[in-house]
Amino acid sequence: MEDTSLLRAVEQSLGIYGTAPTAYLSALARVPSFQISDLDAAVAGRRLIRARTMRYSVYTQTPQMLAVTVAATRTLATKMNAFRQRLEADYPRLAPAVEEALAAGPLPATEIRKLVDPDKAMGDLFSVLLGAMGAGCRIGRATNL
């Protein structure tokens, strides 16, 4: 399949939901010749970006669309609800530590945690940290799994 078919379909759909298996099923519904590796390759090559935008959910979109979706959804995506407010005081210290951990390239969340919170002292707040950073476009997801 041509990479442009998938990119065009994602763009015409204003993005597709970004988690597995929905991302793959959405792509297949729009591009008859779609293969799972097509989406993985487009995300790995940054021709498609996975970011928390609409309703604090991960969407797959073209880089050109990212600025538009972030601008349209930033207020809701970055709002500190009661659950996320527990992180608010530590966010300015922790977010740069995550960025430093990712300086050499993408890592799974488990590896980021080993570098930033090796004793797991943050508990469930670690996933909140990564989610808040994603909503603020400070990090993105490199794979669909």
Beta strands in the chain (DSSP E): 16-17, 49-52, 58-61
Model's pTM, two decimal places? 0.72
Q: Is the pLDDT of residue 97 over 70?
A: yes
State percent of the chain over pLDDT 70: 90
Helix (H, G, I), strand (E, B) or coil at 99: helix
pLDDT at 144: 55
Cα–Cα distances (Å) from 25 to 29, 51, 62, 101, in that order, read 6, 18, 18, 32
Tell me: the pLDDT tens digits for 21-76? Answer: 999 999 999 999 999 999 999 988 889 988 877 777 888 999 888 888 877 776 66
